[in-house]
Amino acid sequence: MRLSSRLKLAPLSQSLSGLVSGTAATVNGLDAKTIVDMLARSETLVRIPDVWHPPILTGAESLFWEQEVKDSARLELDWLLKCNLEELVASVRPMSAENCEQIARAILDRIGGPTFEYLLTRIVGTMVPRDGRGPPTSSDEYYFAIRDLFPQVPPENDVLGRLLCFAMRMCQLRIEKNPNLTAH
């Protein structure tokens, strides 16, 4: 069973169901491109100042620190791509929209494929059906909406389900936090 079939997208559907208007392909009067632009722009994020900063390092210490951070990020991505479903859900749930976006972009960099913005366009296009229905509640609909963008990924590989997990969580968090999207 594909990971996308096992992920539950109910919270995202609930976030979107109040936004979808009766007109075709709009959310509160906004078209899909406008929504993608709002979701992809960093200005839509609420910035929280960092509490912890790395120590001030010079010369070789700085290079070592940077390499250690890169290695740590690579190991985290490796783990997120291999962990079981329960571990994945437990890891994604507390993440910020920015963290989810960073991981989704890192997955795209690793597997190749379209730009992050084009991926979002597909996802939002699926969220806002042209026939006026509400957003799909089945993760399979989102999976099949992006599957053709990644012909190099074998169907039995669940990396696309994981990519969707991070991208959809980012969308959900930004839709919930962005008053400009829900105010129209």
pLDDT tens for 142-168 read: 999 999 999 999 989 999 999 999 999
Residue 17 near residue 134 (C-beta atoms within 8 A):
yes
Residue 31 near residue 140 (C-beta atoms within 8 A):
no
Is pLDDT at 48 greater than 60 in this prediction? no
Give the pLDDT confidence of 110-141 residue by residue, as tens digits. 999 899 999 999 998 888 877 778 888 888 99
Rounded Cα–Cα distance for residues 130 and 125 (Å): 8
pLDDT band per the 50, 70, 90 thresholds, residue 73: low
Beta bridge partners of 27: 20, 30
58 contacts: CB under 8 Å, gap ≥ 6: none
